[in-house]
């Protein structure tokens, strides 16, 4: 039996209660993963998730669906490895097909310096049990003969790192999977309800004010992306976060030509092919701060050019759709997880380009932290206090694009 005949209720509307044990601000993949794990693993079900638009309307529905563990620091590799392990069985846990598929990730290098960085990364990954190998051009050609090893005649490929566990998951399905599973466990999810203020009295967070009225809470979690600094401001906290735009586009559908994720470490571009045959192209975050989610022609032209340099087939397909999302970048390109200097106000923020792939483990371990009062070892290095203590986890080399 597949479970198909079991009744499945999608998001039901519930009235906003005047009090919850835990209020989560932000109905994205991280906030919903936290709500699910609090309810499923710790029996904490008196939870209200407040989303000002609709669930997944921010970065969760705009990211490029990449899941991987090939990071660059001793703190981040085991963290994302643990997340990847959850991803593999998440469909079964949530009873919702999140369309998780493992294809591998190939990171092309066009300079010896870049290949050296990838070699170091490979060694570190291996030390933590994460498969990342160095491959040379002849092997790359065997893996996908459509890759242009001359780099458009300008940037010859000197090698690559190959990360077999690299995967893709359908972002909307992940959001809906966490949301429906959390609701089944009794979590209230309020779409279209904005948090307008955070109630802090004598250094302790007492709840939030919403446009549906005040809501008191034992714990408030800021799980927003793009606007995490604005919610933190309401609690009197200045976060070291800058919001940048990250854009992507897809071509019209073509027959399968690209199995897995292909990226260039020097050209800052990456490609994958969606289930509907569209070639998805992304690039680096815009260098300036913005809350705008408008697409730009400059990005389209530049990303298209770079993608054609490594994968010329793209030139034969027309661009069909383009979009942008916001990335909350921290000074060290790592997430901020844990209680802030305001008691009862927890941060699940600074999700940059890593929020989607880390959501399952971030949700699981932050839930454990809230439920037990003890910070799990894997996320301890990512506490909000690390900036003041000068204990940052610098991982920009892993996190500039996807």
Partner 1 sequence: MTELRDLHPSVVACLASPEALDVLPPPGHGARVCRTAPDELLLVGAAGVAAELIRETADRVGALDPDALVVDVTDGWAGFVLTGEGARRAFSYLSELELPEAGFLQGHVAHVPAKVLVEGDALVLLVPAFWEAHLRRRALADAAPAGIRRGGPS
* Nearest-approach distance from CB 184 to partner 1, in angstroms: 15
Cα 273 to Cα 1, 46, 74, 101, 394, distances in angstroms: 32, 40, 31, 12, 30
What distance in Å separates the CA atoms of residue 240 and residue 382, rounded to the nearest whole number?
A: 13
Place of tokens 């941060």: 347
Separation of alpha carbons 226 and 232, rounded Å: 12
How many residues sit close enough to partner 1 to count as binding (CB under 8 A)? 22
With respect to partner 1, which residue has the nearer C-beta, 101 or 290?
101
Does residue number 276 form part of the binding site for partner 1 (CB under 8 A)?
A: yes
Instruction: By CB under 8 A, tell whether 12 contacts partner 1.
Output: no
3-class secondary structure per residue, 34-54: HHHHHHHHHCCCCEEEEECCC
Write the DSSP string, 235-286: TT-----EEEEEEEEEE---SS---SEEEETTTTEEEEE-TTSPEEEEEPPP
Shortest separation between residue 316's beta carbon and partner 1, angstroms: 12
Q: Which of 53, 123, 301, 320 binds partner 1 (CB under 8 A)?
A: 320
- Of 19-27, 269-277, 301-309, 360-368, which segment contacts partner 1 by CB under 8 A? 269-277
Between CA 118 and CA 115 the distance in angstroms is 5
Find the binder of partner 1 among 4, 201, 388, 389 (CB under 8 A).
4
Both tokens of residue 20?
């919850």
Residue whose CB is less far from partner 1, 194 or 317 = 317
Q: Which of 240, 346, 327, 344 is nearest to 288 (CA)?
A: 327
Q: Please give the distance of CA 240 from its chain centroid, rounded to a whole number.
A: 19
254 binds partner 1 (CB under 8 A): yes
Contact (Cβ atoms closer than 8 angstroms) between residue 155 and residue 137: no
First to last CA, the chain: 37
Smaller CB separation from partner 1, 137 or 253: 253
For partner 1, the closer of residues 279 and 365 by Cβ is: 279
Distance of CA 60 to the CA centre of its chain: 7
CA distances from 80 to 37, 39, 69 (A): 17, 22, 5
Which of 12, 13, 238, 318 binds partner 1 (CB under 8 A)? It is 318
Residue 204 or 321: which CB sits closer to partner 1? Answer: 321
> Judged by CB under 8 A, which of 144, 216, 274, 293 binds partner 1?
274
Sole window of 35-43, 158-166, 239-247, 254-262 interacting with partner 1 (rule: CB under 8 A) = 254-262
| 165 vs 177, beta carbon nearer partner 1 | 177
In the complex, least distance from residue 275 CB atom to partner 1, rounded to whole angstroms: 4
Q: Does 275 bind partner 1 (CB under 8 A)?
A: yes
Per-residue DSSP letter, 194:
-
Residues 88-127 as x/- pattern, contact with partner 1 by CB under 8 A: ---------x-x-x--------------------------
Residues at the interface with partner 1 (CB under 8 A): 2, 4-5, 7-8, 97, 99, 101, 170, 173, 252-256, 274-278, 318, 320
């Amino acid at each position: 039996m597949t479970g198909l005949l079991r009744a499945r209720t999608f998001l039901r509307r519930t009235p906003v209660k005047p009090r919850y044990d835990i209020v989560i601000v932000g109905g994205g993949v991280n906030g919903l993963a936290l709500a699910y794990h609090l309810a499923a693993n710790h029996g904490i079900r008196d939870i209200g998730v407040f989303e000002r638009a609709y669930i997944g309307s921010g970065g969760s529905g705009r990211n490029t669906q990449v899941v991987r563990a090939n990071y660059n620091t001793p703190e981040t590799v085991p963290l994302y490895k643990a997340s990847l392990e959850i991803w593999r069985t998440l469909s079964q846990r949530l009873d919702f097909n999140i369309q998780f598929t493992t294809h591998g990730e190939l990171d092309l290098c066009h300079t010896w310096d870049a290949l050296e960085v990838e070699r170091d990364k490979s060694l570190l990954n291996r030390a933590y049990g994460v498969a990342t190998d160095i491959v040379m051009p002849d092997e790359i050609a065997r893996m996908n003969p459509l890759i242009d090893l001359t780099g458009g005649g300008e940037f010859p490929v000197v090698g690559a790192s190959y990360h077999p566990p690299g995967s893709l998951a359908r972002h909307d399905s992940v959001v809906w999977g966490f949301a429906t599973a959390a609701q089944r466990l009794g979590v209230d999810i309020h779409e279209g309800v904005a948090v307008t203020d955070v109630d802090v009295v004598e250094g302790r967070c007492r709840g939030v004010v919403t446009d549906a009225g005040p809501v008191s809470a034992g714990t408030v979690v800021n799980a927003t992306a793009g606007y995490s600094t604005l919610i933190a401001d309401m609690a009197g906290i200045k976060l070291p976060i800058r919001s940048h735009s990250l854009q992507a586009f897809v071509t019209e559908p073509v027959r399968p030509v690209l199995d897995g994720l292909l990226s260039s470490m020097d050209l800052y571009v990456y490609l994958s092919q969606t289930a509907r045959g569209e070639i998805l192209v992304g690039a680096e975050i815009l260098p300036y701060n913005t809350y705008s989610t408008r697409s730009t022609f400059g990005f389209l032209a530049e990303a298209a050019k770079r993608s054609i340099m490594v994968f010329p087939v793209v030139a034969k397909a027309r661009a069909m759709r383009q979009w942008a999302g916001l990335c909350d970048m921290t000074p060290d390109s790592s997430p901020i997880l844990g209680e802030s200097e305001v008691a009862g106000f927890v941060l699940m923020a600074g999700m940059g380009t890593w929020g989607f792939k880390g959501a399952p483990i971030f949700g699981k371990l932050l839930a454990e932290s809230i439920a037990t009062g003890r910070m799990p070892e894997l996320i301890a290095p990512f506490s909000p206090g690390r900036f003041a203590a000068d204990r940052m986890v610098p991982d920009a080399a892993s996190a500039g694009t996807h």
